Amino acid sequence: MTFKPLLFFFFSISIFAQKPDEEAFNKLNQSAIWQLELKDKGTKNWESNWFLDGHFAQIKNTPKGMIFNAGSEERNDAHHAVLWTKKSFKGDLKIEYQFTRTDEKTTWACILYLQATGIDISPYDADISKWNKLREIPAMKTYFNNMKALHISYASFDNYNTDKNKDYIRVRQYPVEKGQNFNTTTEIPSPYFETGLFKTGETYKIIIIKTTERIYFKVTGKNISKLFFWDLSNSKLLDEGRIGLRQMFSRSAIYKNFTVYTRK
C-alpha cells in the first residue's frame, strides 16, 4: 500500500507521454537556451503587462496571484474575456505558470493562445492591438476567423457536458480555412480526454514548450504529473505574436508566476 501513490504518479505520466517525448521535453526544459522575456507574479497591477478584451471580466491582483473572472452570463458572447500580453514573442517559446481553477463548471473552455496575430486583411491588422474595439464583444468567431494563432484548450468541457470528470485538452490552429468550419479544419491531432487534472481549488504548475515541430504541455499537481504533446510538423508555421488567456463566460481562475522565455 505504501508504494501505490508513487506507482500511480509514474503511471499517470506514461499513459500520456512516450519515453522519447519525455526525454525530449526534459532536455528542452532544462536547457540553457532559454532567455527570459516576461515575468509577472500576478500580485501587482495587471495592466503593466496585459490588455483586456471584454467589458464584463473582473481582474484583481492579490498575494495569491491574479484572479481572472469572465462575465457571469452564459451564452452571451459579451461575457467572454481574453487577456493579451502587451509584448509579442518570436520563435520557440517556453511558458510557465501556476493555474488554480476557481469555478465548478462542467461546461465551456479555458484557452491559451500562442503567437497570435491578425490575418493582415483590413481591418484585421497583424498587430491585434490595432483592432481592440472589434473585440469588445469577444465572440470566439472573431478570433478563429480573423487571427493566426495556436490555441490550447484545457480545464475545458463540451458545451452541454454535465460530468465533472469529462474534461479535455485540445490544440487548434487559426484561422478557419475558407469554406470550412471551426470543428473540421482547426484541430491538430489528437485531443486528450478525462485527464484527471484541474480540480477546483487545486494549484497546478503548467509548462508549455512550443517549437516548429512540437508543442509540449506538462501539468504537475499534488501527486500527479502528466505530459501531453502534439506534432506541428504538418502545420503552417507560426513564429511571432502575442500570448492570450481566454476564459469563456462563467469560467474563473487564478494565475501566478506567469513567465515567458524565448530561445537565445
Predicted local distance difference test score (pLDDT) of residue 178: 85
For 212-247, write each residue's pLDDT tens digit.
999 999 999 999 999 999 999 999 999 999 999 999
pLDDT digits (tens, 9 = 90+) for 79-92: 999 999 999 999 99
**Which ranges in 134-246 belong to alpha helices (H)?**
140-146, 182-185
Q: What percent of the chain has pLDDT over 70?
A: 93
Are the C-beta atoms of residues 155 and 167 closer than 8 Å to each other? yes
Per-residue pLDDT, 18: 67
- pTM of the predicted structure, to 2 decimals: 0.92
pLDDT score of 2: 42
- The C-alpha cell 488554480 sits at 100
Residue 133 has pLDDT above 80, yes or no: yes
Residue 210 has pLDDT above 70, yes or no: yes
pLDDT of the residue at 12: 44
CB-CB contact of 102 with 253 (8 Å) = yes
Q: Side-chain half-sphere of 235: how many Cα atoms within 13 Å? A: 27
Structural domains in the chain, CATH included, are 4-263 (2.60.120.200)
